[in-house]
Amino acid sequence: MIELVLSLFKPLFLPLLKLSFRPPHLPEGSTLVRELKPAESWFTYRALVAMFGLLSQVIGTGVVAIAAIAKLGGAGIVVAVILVLLEVVVVAFTLVATRVDFELRHFLVGDRSLRVTEGALTRREATLSYANVQNLEVTQGPLERLFGFQNLTVTTAGADQAPGTHENSHSVTLVGLSNAEEVRTLILGMLRKEKDSGLGERAMAPGGGWSIEALLEVRDAATALKQAAQSRAVKAG
C-alpha cells in the first residue's frame, strides 16, 4: 500500500520539494572508508509512525464527511469528496517526505572525519573530526528491536545542550543501522589511527620547533600550577 502511494505521488511532489540528490562528499584531505545508509526497516518504521500520527486526523475527516452527507445531501457528497481528497494529499505528501528523507540520509565514514547528511524538508549536514570525538553510543529501544535496527550517536568533546532544547548541539546520530556495533568498531579503529598518527605532530611544528598550540598549552598549565601554589600559600598563612 505504501509503495503504491509512493509510486503515484512521488513524481508529483518531488518538483515542489526542490531537492538535490547529488551524493555528499567528505572534506578535502579525507578518504572515504565506507558509505552507510539506514536500513529499509527504518523507513517502514518511520512511515508507520507518520501514519499513526495522522490517524486521528483521518478519522476526524471521515466523521466530518459522513456528517456532511447526512446533513447536506447531494451538496454534502461534494464536500465529503473534497475533504477525502485533501486528506489523501496530506497522507501522500507525508509518505513521500518520509521516503525522500530516507533516501537523502547518507553517513560517510572517512579516515579522518565522519560526515552525516539528512533531512527532506529541512536539510542538515554535519562533519565531525575524529580528533574531537569523545563518545560512541549504540541505542536500541523496544520498537527499534522489533524492526531490527539500532542508532549510533557520535558525540564530540565539549558537547553541551543547546539552550531550550533537549538535543546535543555537538552530536550526530546515525539512525536505522542494521549493523551499528560493526560501524562503532569501524569508527573506533579510525579514532585509534588518528590518535596514533597524531603522536608528536601536535607538539612539534613543521620546522622541528614547538608549535603555537603546544606553547599555549604549556603556558596554561604553568598558570594553573602557579595559581594552585598561591592558593596553598594563602591557606598555609
- Looking at residue 209, its pLDDT comes to 45
- pLDDT > 90? residue 182: yes
Do the Cβ atoms of 171 and 161 come closer than 8 Å? no
pLDDT, tens digit, 9 for 90 and up, residues 186-234: 999 888 887 776 554 444 444 444 444 555 566 666 666 666 666 666 5
- pLDDT > 60? residue 119: yes
Please state, in angstroms and as integers, the Cα–Cα distance from residue 220 to each residue in 61, 200, 204, 216, 234, following that order.
66, 19, 17, 6, 21
Indicate the average pLDDT of the chain. Answer: 79
Query: Could you give the CA distance from residue 155 to residue 128 in angstroms, rounded to a whole number?
Result: 9
Query: In sequence order, what are the beta bridge partners of 124?
Result: 118
pTM above threshold 0.85: no
pLDDT over 90 for what percent of the chain?
A: 35
- Looking at residue 19, its pLDDT comes to 67
Q: Span 1-20, mean pLDDT?
A: 68
Q: Given its phi and psi angles, is residue 119 left (phi above 0), alpha (psi -120 to 50 degrees) or beta?
A: left
Helices (H) and strands (E) in the chain, counts: 6, 7
Burial category of 235 from C-beta neighbours within 10 Å (exposed 0-12, middle 13-18, buried 19 and up):
exposed
